[in-house]
Structure 1
Amino acid sequence: MDKPKKSARRKTSGVTIDEVAALAGVSPMTVSRVMNQGKVRELTRERVMRAVRELGYTPNLAASSLAAAQHTRIALIYTNPSGAYLRELLVGLLRVASSSAIQLVVDYWDELDAEAERNAARALGGRVDGVILPPPLCESQAAVAELVKAGIPVVAIASGHLSDDISCVRIDDFHAGKEMAEYLIRQGHSRIGFIRGRKDLSASARRYDGFVTALHEAGLEVESGLVQQGDYTYRSGLTAAEKLLSLRKPPTAIFASNDDMGAAAISVAHRRGLDVPRDLSVVGFDDSSAATTVWPELTTIHQPIASMANAAIDILLRSIRRRTDSAPVLMDHVLPHRLVVRDSVAAPSKRR
């Protein structure tokens, strides 16, 4: 079994600004200016950001940010169908909030329509200083428009692209999806089923685009029957996996767009008497707790959810300090992902 190349990154908490400065060949003060959107030469900025990405560095909240955090109310608005994803995001936010005197407001919007989202955003605007929108609300045009209109800084988490109105913290979903598909192809799989995420999220489309690109580059066709729609819930994964495994010629591997649906695919395989991974390989996406509470544990893409929460709060505090400026500074903060190999993938069984 192929092993992914070890990354040069260390854990975010272990990387210091001095290490970033050394790798970039600049002073720590220059790194600080880049991270705070200060004036530096463009070539220097690119060199520093290249070092930041390579080391996986996420800056600790500066002293000025800590001062700004006093009595700052930041809202997390959610209606996420994946409990495992939401739990890790919330833990990350609580950890940062508790160490920086931020008041975290958690608001649940239960399947609101566009008008209800506008009303809820309007009511929230007068109570908080900043808002974090995880998927699927990260791409709610109604909520974003109302919050921006009220002058509230907003950060979207895990959106597939940078908005013109709000900042974003994300991974490169296209390359993550492509990397996972390439891994399955290297194991010998040529008939790979794919369970898509929600239709209304650009990150879902980017993961699928990466999957398709990998297949095309390997000279493989994308059969329509091997692609099933899901919505990131466990139940949708059950339905999609049943359809895939009921085909006259079923896939030898299933790539689910998140771990919940991947866990569901393993459940369906077991129910049908299939051994995972001997008879069917299954992979997920996110590296949430759902990936390690199934047997066998899921090979998946690690999305640094806690680090994304930390970066989102950092961006919000910087934006709150700059609210008197005429033009807000929007950031597209892309964190590194990695392929996590566990026991759910093997070469296709010759018996099949």
Structure 2
Amino acid sequence: MAKQAQDEGLNAKLTINDIARMAGVSKKTVSRVINRSPLLNAQTREKVEQIIADTGYVPNPQARALALGRNFLIGLIYDNPNQQMILSMQRGILEALHGTEFELVVRPVDRGSARVMDDIRGFITRQRLYGVILLPPISENDTLARLCDEEGCRYVRMGSAVLDDPEHMVVSNDRDAVADAVRYLIAQGHRRIGLIAGPHGFRSAKERRDGFELALSEAGISLPRSLVADGQYTFESGISACESLLDLSPRPTAIFAANDEMAAGVLYAARLRGIEVPDELSIIGFDDTPLTTRVWPPLTTVRWPIVAMGRAAALKLIGTAIGEGSAVNEPSTFSSTLIRRGSVAPLPIA
């Protein structure tokens, strides 16, 4: 027992540099083995893993954190009513963090608060965050990006338009994707198409509306103000907005809702009025959340690659730390695509 205790005391003092020397590899290679990086050949991995097993070496995250002046924590900061989007983003981030020393800390904020910047600064400094991922619409605030720089905290912004350098950005093509979705409705014969827009102040809402209007303009279709209803990215706002559109005479034959929650609200409102979907009303949403296949008919929607975007955002932050190279090597632009299901049908010929 005494010898075991002595050995354990000795092993506790081993550093990553010692393991690298014993294995005849670089410190970065050992770090890659510890963090289960795929960027290693099997022989090198097995050699380093055997030495770690033989010596009983245990990485010391506290020591590494002390050396970095940061904890191994990634913060997810958001103010967004779409909970499914938050959950999908977390899933992507956690996929990237799996097998590393990093953990995720989630922080909702109120972007309308006069103290929001002070609150975020306090969160970053108290937790000594390694980096943060900022979700829209708060990610669109350039002041927040500067705050992160001032605190020496890495950051990645997610959005629907380019807001920053590639190392600080993951962006989707919302405008083009929505234009394609509306072109699909037009190809089905629909010309009186309603829009349930997203909340004011969200860049995604603007980009999606711009794509909607672009497709109509290309087809020479006018957009009366009465065919645009405001939504809040919630199921309830989808119902309310749809009711205002269905009160029109003539009512729209198709509706594009700027997210799936509101599209589900459209489906609900139509059912309450006895309007058959898709025979009397076609519906398209945006996100491709799980609920799109849990309603009837299943919703045609634009698939937003939110999980992949979350994974890329996290790897942009931690890539160098886990030996995965430059953050810029992670993709910055992601394409959304139309997923055709049962909620769209050709316009019946009168």
Contact 2:72/2:103 (<8 A) preserved: yes
SS of 1:123 mapped into structure 2: helix
Q: Which amino acid aligns with 2:284?
A: V
Contact 1:153/1:319 (<8 A) preserved: no
* Deviation for aligned residue 1:158: 2.9
Q: Which amino acid aligns with 1:98?
A: H
> Distance between the aligned counterparts of 1:332 and 1:143, measured in 2?
23
1:101 corresponding residue in structure 2: 101
C-alpha spacing 1:165/1:188, structure 2 compared with 1 (3 Å): closer
SS of 2:114 mapped into structure 1: helix
> Distance between the aligned counterparts of 1:86 and 1:286, measured in 2?
12
SS of 1:151 mapped into structure 2: coil
Q: Which amino acid aligns with 2:97?
A: A
2:309 corresponding residue in structure 1: 308
Q: Which amino acid aligns with 1:284?
A: G
Cα deviation, 1:239-277, whole Å, max 9, x if unaligned, reads 111111111211000000110010100000000100100
2:53 corresponding residue in structure 1: none
The answer to whether 1:84 aligns with 2:84 is: yes
SS of 2:209 mapped into structure 1: helix
SS of 2:176 mapped into structure 1: helix
**Residues 172-251 of structure 1: matches in 2 within 5 Å?**
172-251=173-252
> Distance between the aligned counterparts of 2:320 and 2:232, measured in 1?
32
Contact 1:130/1:154 (<8 A) preserved: yes
Identity rate of aligned residues, in percent?
A: 35
C-alpha spacing 1:215/1:112, structure 2 compared with 1 (3 Å): closer
2:342 corresponding residue in structure 1: 343
> Distance between the aligned counterparts of 1:61 and 1:148, measured in 2?
31
The answer to whether 1:291 aligns with 2:292 is: yes
2:56 corresponding residue in structure 1: none
2:164 corresponding residue in structure 1: 163
Contact 1:138/1:156 (<8 A) preserved: yes
SS of 1:284 mapped into structure 2: strand
Q: Which amino acid aligns with 1:281?
A: S
Q: Which amino acid aligns with 2:92?
A: G
**Residues 118-133 of structure 1: matches in 2 within 5 Å?**
118-126=117-125, 127-133=128-134
SS of 1:115 mapped into structure 2: coil
Q: What is the TM-score when the length of structure 2 is the normalising length?
A: 0.74
* Deviation for aligned residue 1:72: 2.3
Cα deviation, 1:208-266, whole Å, max 9, x if unaligned, reads 11111111111111111101111211121111111111112110000001100101000
> Distance between the aligned counterparts of 2:240 and 2:143, measured in 1?
31
- Post-superposition, which runs of at least 4 consecutive aligned residues in structure 1 deviate over 4 A? 60-63, 67-71, 318-322, 328-332
Cα deviation, 1:282-307, whole Å, max 9, x if unaligned, reads 00001112322221111011111111
Gaps of 5+ in 1: 1-59, 323-327
SS of 1:169 mapped into structure 2: strand
> Distance between the aligned counterparts of 1:151 and 1:62, measured in 2?
28
Contact 2:275/2:281 (<8 A) preserved: yes
> Distance between the aligned counterparts of 1:233 and 1:311, measured in 2?
27
> Distance between the aligned counterparts of 1:83 and 1:136, measured in 2?
14
Q: What is the TM-score when the length of structure 1 is the normalising length?
A: 0.74
Contact 1:242/1:268 (<8 A) preserved: yes
Computing the radius of gyration from Cα coordinates, the structure with the larger value is: 2
Q: Which amino acid aligns with 1:80?
A: N
Greater shift in the superposed pair: 268-277 or 160-169: 160-169
Number of equivalenced pairs: 284
> Distance between the aligned counterparts of 2:140 and 2:322, measured in 1?
25
1:37 corresponding residue in structure 2: none
Q: Which amino acid aligns with 1:103?
A: E
> Distance between the aligned counterparts of 1:123 and 1:228, measured in 2?
38
* Deviation for aligned residue 1:112: 4.2
